[in-house]
């Protein structure tokens, strides 16, 4: 029933509102800029995290860096790739503002957005799993929490996840906007 | 240039091929069935994993279950939710086969598919991060590999990830198919 109503109302407004698609494209462009900030901020925050403890034994200095854990490295790489993709997709987004009837490029963008969302979600979740372990530890597997020693390291890595999760939500909204723009009758 | 060519060729084929959208919908339906098998199989494989070691101290019996690690629990929950969603989306997919011009419901489906893909990717990646740690351990944080003791537990949990990653790829293809169906001129 919903679809029928949607279609009949769209039949009425057929070719009446070319500006709506342009509005959606402009909104998409703004979301892309915000997502770049989120993803790039996350990559930089995680990539520059390092902490050296103020004490040392004769042979070992206690030092934590993001690349001690492969999941954090993956997170930085994923955030960097997604930032790069989002920057490269900006010209396409501008093209959609100028030519609001374009469709083939929108489908490509939906597909790439979905792929990049999967990559970013994957990196952010893997990093979040490690952050959780670092905070809480796990008694059964005998993995101890390390955040009591490396407290500032833990805070930085936890905080750097925020930007990536914001970017994931923005990417999801972009996919919806592209779908909405594609569904409109031209 | 690509978009221009696409549009002009679509102008020619305008309203000529109603069957293509139906074909896309049927393909979408088959992919959904496959994704249900993948996600549900993963949830069951992970949820039924348990291993009791053949030796015990006076007080402790060494026993590993999926819910010893919160990320594995999250993985099972995410797989179950996505399976449930995919089953519920089957009627909508059939509706699209019958009424290949429907658009509002397709946009809703693109959005929900993207959300479910994010959920499943998140669960699978968190579980994969733990599986990696269980296999390799991490020297810097002093988390030891547990797979030498719990080898069959490790194998089962590693294997159960496969189905979910297959389901992620299928969901991505579904999003692309919906976008392609939406982009066609009717």
- Residue A63 has what pLDDT? 78
- Listed by number, the residues of chain A in 45-64 with a beta carbon closer than 8 Å to a beta carbon of chain B are 64
> Does residue B169 form part of some domain?
yes
Q: Chain B within 8 Å of A168 (Cβ-Cβ)?
A: yes
Q: Give the residue-averaged pLDDT of A174-182.
A: 90
Summarised one tens digit per residue, pLDDT across range B27-49 is: 999 999 999 999 999 999 998 88
Determine, yes or no, domain membership for B61.
no
Point out the residue among B69, B114, B133 whose CB comes nearest to the CB of A172.
B114
Q: Does any CB of chain B come closer than 8 Å to the CB of residue A142?
A: yes
A3 vs B: CB within 8 A? yes
Chain B residues whose CB is inside 8 A of the A130 CB are 129, 133
Evaluate whether residue B11 is within a structural domain: no
Q: Taking phi first (over 0 means left), then psi (-120 to 50 degrees means alpha), and beta for anything else, what does residue B57 get?
A: beta
Strand-pairing partners, residue B143, are B138
Of A157-171, B55-69, B80-94, which range is least confident?
B55-69
- Global pTM value: 0.84
The answer to whether residue B12 sits within a structural domain is no
Residue A171 lies in a domain: yes
Mutation target for A interface from B65, B70, B175: give the one with most A CBs within 10 A.
B175
Assess if residue B91 is contained within a domain.
Answer: yes
The domain in which residue A97 lies consists of 18-50+66-183
Is B87 a domain residue? yes
DSSP line for A54-74: EEE-SS-EEEEEGGGSHHHHH
Least confident of B15-19, B21-25, B141-145: B15-19
Tell me, yes or no, whether A33 lies in a domain.
yes
Question: Which residue has tokens 């489906």?
Answer: B109
Kindly give, in sequence order, each residue whose CB lies less than 8 Å from that of residue B95, ignoring residues fewer than 6 positions away: A3, B102, B105
On average, the pLDDT of chain A sits at: 85
For residues B109-135, average pLDDT = 93
pLDDT tens digits along B44-82: 999 888 887 776 666 666 778 888 889 999 999 999 999
Pairwise CB contact (< 8 Å): B64 & A7: no
pLDDT tens track for A64-76: 888 888 999 999 9
Q: Which tokens belong to A99?
A: 């030519």
| Count of structural domains within chain A | 1
Q: For the domain that residue B38 is a member of, what is the CATH number?
A: 1.20.120
């Amino acid at each position: 029933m919903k679809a029928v109503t949607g279609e009949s109302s769209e039949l009425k407004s057929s070719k009446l509102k070319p500006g709506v698609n342009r509005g959606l494209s402009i909104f998409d462009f703004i979301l892309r800029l915000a997502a770049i900030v989120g993803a790039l901020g996350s990559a930089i925050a995680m990539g520059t995290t390092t902490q050296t403890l103020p004490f040392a034994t004769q042979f070992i200095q206690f030092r934590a860096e993001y690349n001690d854990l492969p999941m954090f490295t993956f997170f930085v790489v994923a955030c960097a790739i997604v930032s790069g993709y989002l920057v490269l997709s900006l010209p396409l987004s501008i093209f959609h503002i100028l030519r609001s009837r374009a469709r083939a490029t929108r489908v490509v963008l939906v597909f790439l957005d979905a792929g990049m969302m999967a990559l970013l979600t994957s990196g952010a979740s893997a990093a979040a799993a490690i952050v959780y372990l670092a905070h809480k530890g796990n008694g059964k597997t005998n993995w101890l929490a390390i955040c009591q020693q490396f407290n500032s390291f833990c805070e930085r890595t936890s905080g750097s996840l925020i930007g990536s999760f914001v970017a994931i939500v923005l990417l999801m909204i972009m996919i919806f906007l592209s779908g909405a723009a594609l569904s409109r009758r031209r």
